[in-house]
Amino acid sequence: MAQPKLIASEADVTEVALAAMACTPNPRLRQIMDAFVRHSHDFVREVNLTDEEFEFGLQFLARVGQANTDLHNEVTLAADVLGISTLVALRNNPCSHGQTASALLGPFWRQHAPGCSNGDSIARSNTPGEPLLVSGQVRNVTGRPLVGAVVDVWQASPVGLYENQDPGQDVMNLRGKFSTDAEGRFYFRTVRPAGYPVPTDGPTGELLKAQGRHPYRPAHIHFMVSAPEHRTLITQVFADVPEALATDVVFGVTQPLVGCLERGRAPQVWAAGAAEAHAGQEAVCTLEYDFVLQPGVPTFPEPPIK
Ligand code: BEZ
Ligand code: FE
């Protein structure tokens, strides 16, 4: 076996480091770490990274990790504002067979949202805001409605905070899990979401400030839609002004995910329940959005917070 090479100068470091990892038994780990070393060494060379900058970068990463708690995920947030989360979501979920577009999960999904019946409100504590009726159908790529699909929804309050960020909201406020009916339909009541700033009190916020970037996301509702024998869809539906859509700080907006908030009569599915809930209101705000799942194995992400 060839003797490992001694490093003679900076130019040798990459080759020697790659050789040291070349026998990694897991081929996928070998591929990933080989590429990571090559790209990160190229990065050091391209920007001529100084000692101070290297130290600062390491400290920044350490602070990102230290800012993580059960209720706050700074690591996810940092990946989100760099566009990495959106890139991974879009690469792994192309819309090639007519399925609904994906969007990043974000740092605020929680497991075990309360189970709800269609027509329920996800506003569990007093949540001032404009009432909104959300409805849609879940289908497979051939157009067949999926009965019993689980639609897990979460959103920020109209003041721009998720319940886990806001002691003023009940636990699991504006979160809920619905099951589609015999026609594959789901429908629920909520309050109209507003755009909001991502948390800026940690190192990710410092980075945004140093880059001269605003911290805002356009108004949206998150959906995780799952059904047996189908790939789980993680996405968001947006409704906001064009400028807000085009400058999402985490790059989550794609054209097919722009929904339409309308003021008018409640859709058919609401006929009984909504008539009661919105008696006396001339026109109610509605959002209709259908989801199409592709065949596959349902999987679920690690929850970013508890
Ligand atoms: C969210 O939409 O919940 C979100 C996504 C990325 C960063 C922060 C928040
Ligand atoms: Fe969100």
What phi and psi values does residue 263 have, to the nearest 5 degrees? -110, 120
Please work out whether the CB of residue 109 comes within 6 Å of at least one atom of ligand 1: no
222: which strand partners?
A: 154, 236
**Which pTM was predicted?**
0.94
Average pLDDT of the chain?
A: 95
Please work out whether the CB of residue 175 comes within 6 Å of at least one atom of ligand 1: no
What is the reported pLDDT for 148?
Answer: 98
CATH superfamily of 74-293: Aromatic compound dioxygenase (2.60.130.10)
Please work out whether the CB of residue 110 comes within 6 Å of at least one atom of ligand 1: no
C-alpha distance from residue 304 to each of 4, 98, 109, 146 (Å): 42, 29, 7, 28
What is the reported pLDDT for 3?
Answer: 80
Q: What is the pLDDT of residues 210-244, one digit of tens each?
A: 999 999 999 999 999 999 999 999 999 999 999 99
Point out the ligand 1 atom lying closest to the alpha carbon of residue 198.
8
| Banded pLDDT at 273 (limits 50, 70, 90) | low
Mean pLDDT of 68-90: 97
| Rounded Cα–Cα distance for residues 18 and 20 (Å) | 5
